[in-house]
């Protein structure tokens, strides 16, 4: 009897918590978004989102040519994607896409019927998410092909026991990706975020882009105006101008808010997809209680005192400049023609960040 009452109380608290959360978010919108923000659409929650979707996509009979730049709003982009969250192995992903000879080493693909508007590097920070990565690839690869973007995936895996440093992995991924090809658009993508619409165009623009504006775990509401988490995109020029992600955030959370500040301080605004195009489903998981360490790594001898130092951070301890080491694996060769292997390219290495 007591157990049944406990379950009932727990369920009631979840319902009440969801209602309170929605009230808080809607109140924040009312106070902070009296005018249109940097989004492509006004954040008026009383309006119909279908009414706000004014973007026109090309008709089915539209013809484009191999020597023309690929359009951004192709007829192949239908909108809602059928989401399949069931677990799948990477061997099944290989089987699914190995029959497509246009997919090259590293999950690299480019359209043959038009010139891609953007060369997109998809950077994915990774640790112990082997069941999530195949689910993401199952949805993302066909979507990007329909959008006629040139793309490749770079999965940067942190190993060892230090707290997770998502931001530093993005910085490392950027440096590795630029050795591979002259990319012009960078997508920073959490492995557990599955896009629900192929009209969420994964190209870049004049302003940094926040793609994941409506997460199911937040009841498809933007938690706050400065929210920049989940999936974001910047041109290479923009990323270099803001000096990349902060390296100072160990553990879960905080780095996206810092990135928002960097974007604003560089004179940029943030664009967002209109209507339901920014919807995402989140693969449930737990952060395993990782505590955030701002300005301090797991090693007591290594201190990061300035969050703004990123692509070339300075590490200071006891008045002396020191090296910091974070063990990673460059696991960015995802799909091959002869078989799948989430293998290390070039071996395991300590990433040495110094002035």
Q: Is the pLDDT of residue 37 over 90?
A: no
Q: What is the mean pLDDT of residues 300-322?
A: 37
Helix ranges (H only) for the chain are 2-32, 49-52, 90-97, 133-146, 166-180, 236-241, 255-265
Quickly count: other Cβ atoms within 10 Å of residue 176's Cβ: 18
pLDDT classification of 130: cutoffs 50, 70, 90:
confident
Range from 205-214, 261-270, 336-345 carrying the lowest mean pLDDT: 336-345
Q: What is the mean pLDDT of the chain?
A: 73
Decide: residue 328, CB within 10 A, 0-12 exposed, 13-18 middle, 19+ buried.
buried
| Per-domain boundaries in the chain | 1-32, 37-353
d(CA 91, CA 277) in angstroms, rounded, equals: 30
3-class DSSP state of 4: helix
**Element containing residue 329 per DSSP (H, E):** strand 324-330
d(CA 206, CA 267) in angstroms, rounded, equals: 12
Q: What is the pTM of this model?
A: 0.72
d(CA 145, CA 198) in angstroms, rounded, equals: 10
- Report the percent of the chain where pLDDT is more than 90: 45
Range from 23-37, 97-111, 136-150, 282-296 carrying the lowest mean pLDDT: 23-37
d(CA 135, CA 83) in angstroms, rounded, equals: 9
CATH number of 37-353: 3.90.550.10
> Do 150 and 111 meet the contact criterion of CB atoms below 8 Å apart?
yes
């Amino acid at each position: 009897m007591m157990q049944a009452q406990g379950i009932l109380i727990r369920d009631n608290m979840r319902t009440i918590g969801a209602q309170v959360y929605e009230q808080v978010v809607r109140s924040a919108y009312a106070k902070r978004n009296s005018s249109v923000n940097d989004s492509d659409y006004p954040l008026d929650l009383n309006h119909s989102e279908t009414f706000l979707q004014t973007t026109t996509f090309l008709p089915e009979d539209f013809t484009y040519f191999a020597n023309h730049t690929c359009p951004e709003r192709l007829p192949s982009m239908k909108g809602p994607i059928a989401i399949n969250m069931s677990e799948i192995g990477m061997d099944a992903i290989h089987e699914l896409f190995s029959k497509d000879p246009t997919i090259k080493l590293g999950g690299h693909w480019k359209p043959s019927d038009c010139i891609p508007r953007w060369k997109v590097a998809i950077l994915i920070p990774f640790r112990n998410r082997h069941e999530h990565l195949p689910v993401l690839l199952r949805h993302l690869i066909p979507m990007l092909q329909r959008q006629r973007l040139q793309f490749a995936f770079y999965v940067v895996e942190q190993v060892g026991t230090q707290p997770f440093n998502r931001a530093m992995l993005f910085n490392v991924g950027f440096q590795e990706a630029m050795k591979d090809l002259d990319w012009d658009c960078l997508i920073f993508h959490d492995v557990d975020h599955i896009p629900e619409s192929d009209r969420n165009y994964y190209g870049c623009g004049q302003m940094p882009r926040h793609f994941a504006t409506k997460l199911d775990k937040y009841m498809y509401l933007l938690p706050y105006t400065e929210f920049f988490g989940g999936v974001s995109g910047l041109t290479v020029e923009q990323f270099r101008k803001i000096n990349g992600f902060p390296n100072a955030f160990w553990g879960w959370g905080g780095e996206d808010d810092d990135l928002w500040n960097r974007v604003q301080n560089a004179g940029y605004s943030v664009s967002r997809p209109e209507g339901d195009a920014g919807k995402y489903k989140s693969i449930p998981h737990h952060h395993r209680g990782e505590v955030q360490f701002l300005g301090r790594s797991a090693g007591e001898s290594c201190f990061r005192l300035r969050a703004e130092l990123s692509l070339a951070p300075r590490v200071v301890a006891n008045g002396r400049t020191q090296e910091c080491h974070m063990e990673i694996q460059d696991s960015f060769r995802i799909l091959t023609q002869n078989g799948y292997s989430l293998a290390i390219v070039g071996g395991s290495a300590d990433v040495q960040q110094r002035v």
